[in-house]
Amino acid sequence: MNTRLLWTAFVTIVVKEIRRFTRIWVQTLLPPAITMTLYFIIFGNLIGSRIGDMGGFDYMEYIVPGLIMMSVITNSYGNVVSSFFGTKFQRNIEELLVSPVPNWVILAGYVIGGASRGLGVGFIVTLLSLFFTDLQIHHLFVTIAVVLLTAILFALGGFINAVYAKTFDDIAIVPTFILTPLTYLGGVFYSIQLLPGFWQGVSQLNPILYMVNSFRYGILGVSDINIGFAFAMIIGFIVLLGGYAMHLLNTGKGIRE
């Protein structure tokens, strides 16, 4: 396939994925917006007023970056895992496999489509947060880069989960038992500086901690971790998961079986 045809195939997959979640926006975009608004009210206004400052910032201001990142992570992951598994379940994947579209184009289309939903929800949550606090971007490049890379990373994770899933129940295992606990323990609602030394070390094994703190640094200019190391880790995970996802596509694992 020439470049024009490759681009057409890529755009077709991306547009299909975007239309998929925008067509049912009441189910895909509205619920996370409502959920995050409740977080802002309960944790930010009600509980935050009792906690006081966190890292030199108002508690509401401190948790907003984490809540935005949490919405990006869960929606980027959830969009791809449900979409690609649905394609497998309905046997539509066979149409892609017999077409001349390269596997990397298929993967890129699904990942960008999933990342688009994550970024879209993140943007909505950011707009909602402005009703509760003022956001001043400390470092624009870090803010944009980390949210883009994180959305891509978890879209890849959702793709791999979808490949291995055999039933609809399987696509909920990772988000429920792995993704959600790691997100809540990833420094969204607190600074790890408040933890004892041992638990600070344990927290640093959580990869989501680095994404949340990098994004917080981009907005507020404060972080519990080294930003350079965080970027290296995120990019490393993207390369690792991207390579593994390509391996699964090329071998047909969970698809042709």
Mean pLDDT computed over 41-48:
77
**Residue 173: inside a domain, yes or no?**
yes
Per-residue pLDDT at 119 exceeds 80: yes
**What tens digit of pLDDT does each residue of 179-232 get?**
989 988 888 888 888 888 888 888 889 999 999 999 999 999 999 889 999 999
Amino acid residing at 209: L
**Residue 167: inside a domain, yes or no?**
yes
CA angle, corner 240, sides to 253 and 255, nearest 5? 15
Q: What single-letter DSSP state applies at residue 193?
A: G
Please, are residues 239 and 149 in contact by the beta-carbon 8 Å criterion?
A: no
Q: What single-letter DSSP state applies at residue 210?
A: H
**Residue 256: inside a domain, yes or no?**
no
**Residue 257: inside a domain, yes or no?**
no
Single out the residue of 205, 207, 228, 206 nearest to residue 217, CA to CA: 228
**Residue 67: inside a domain, yes or no?**
yes
Mean pLDDT computed over 89-114:
88
**Residue 52: inside a domain, yes or no?**
yes
* Residue 113, pLDDT score: 96
**Residue 211: inside a domain, yes or no?**
yes
Per-residue pLDDT at 256 exceeds 70: no
Mean pLDDT computed over 67-80:
95
Helix (H, G, I), strand (E, B) or coil at 58: strand
* Residue 128, pLDDT score: 93
Tokens of 69: 């990142």
* Residue 257, pLDDT score: 59
Percentage of the residues of the chain whose pLDDT score is greater than 90: 57
- CA gap 37, 130 in Å, rounded: 11
Mean pLDDT computed over 93-110:
88
Per the structure, the complete domain to which residue 84 belongs is given by: 3-251
Task: Match 């990142």 to its residue by tokens.
Answer: 69
Strands (E) in the chain, as ranges, are 53-54, 57-58
* Residue 252, pLDDT score: 83
Number of domain units in the chain: 1
- CA gap 139, 153 in Å, rounded: 21
